[in-house]
Copies of this chain bind each other. A is one copy, B any other.
Amino acid sequence: MIGGGSYAVGDKLPSVRSLHLEHGISISTALQVYTHLEKTGWVEAREKSGYFVRYSHNIRPALPPVSNPLPTACQVQVNEKLAMFRKTASAQKTISLIGASPETSLLPTAKLKRALQLCARELDTSYIPYGDISGYEPFRRHIAKHCLNWGRAVLPNEIIVTNGAIEAAVLCLRAVAKAGDTIAIESPTFFGLLLGIESLGMKALEIPTDPVTGISLDALEDAFKKKKVQACLFVTNYNNPLGSCMPDSRKEQLAKLLQQYQVPMIEDDVYGDLHFAPERPRTVKSYDEEGLVMYCSSWSKSIAAGLRIGWVIGGRYHERIAQLKFMTSAATGLLPQLVLTKFLDQQRLDLHLKSLRQQLNIQTMQMTRAIQEYFPADTQLTRPNGGISLWVVLPPKVNTWQLHEAAVAQGITFTPGSLFSSQDRYHNCIRLTNANPWDEDQEWAVQTLGRLSSEQLK
Q: Which residues of A are interface residues toward B (Cβ below 8 A)? A: 79, 83, 100-101, 104, 107, 109, 112-113, 116-117, 119-121, 123-131, 162-164, 166-167, 170, 174, 178-179, 192, 195-196, 198-199, 201, 300, 304-309, 323-324, 326-336, 339
Contacts and interface: CB of A to CB of B under 8 A. Distances in A.
Given A327-B196, A333-B163, A333-B336, A306 B178 contact: no
A389 to B, nearest CB: 16
Given A83-B323, A179-B179, 4 more contacts: A195-B326, A196-B328, A308-B330, A309-B333
A307 B335 CA distance: 7
14 contacts: A79-B327, A109-B128, A113-B124, A116-B120, A116-B335, A130-B306, A164-B330, A167-B329, A170-B328, A178-B179, A196-B327, A308-B332, A329-B329, A336-B336
B328 A166 contact: yes
A311 B76 CA distance: 28
Contacts of A196: 327-328
B123 A107 contact: no
Given A100-B130, A109-B125, A116-B120, A329 B308 contact: yes
B327 A308 contact: no
B333 A127 contact: no
Nearest to A110: B125
A307 B127 contact: yes
Contact of A306 (B117, B119, B129): B129
A166 B329 contact: yes
Contacts of A79: 323, 327
Contacts of A178: 179, 201
A97 to B, nearest CB: 16
Contacts of A331: 306, 308
Contacts of A113: 120, 123-125
A304 B104 CA distance: 29
Contacts of A170: 327-329
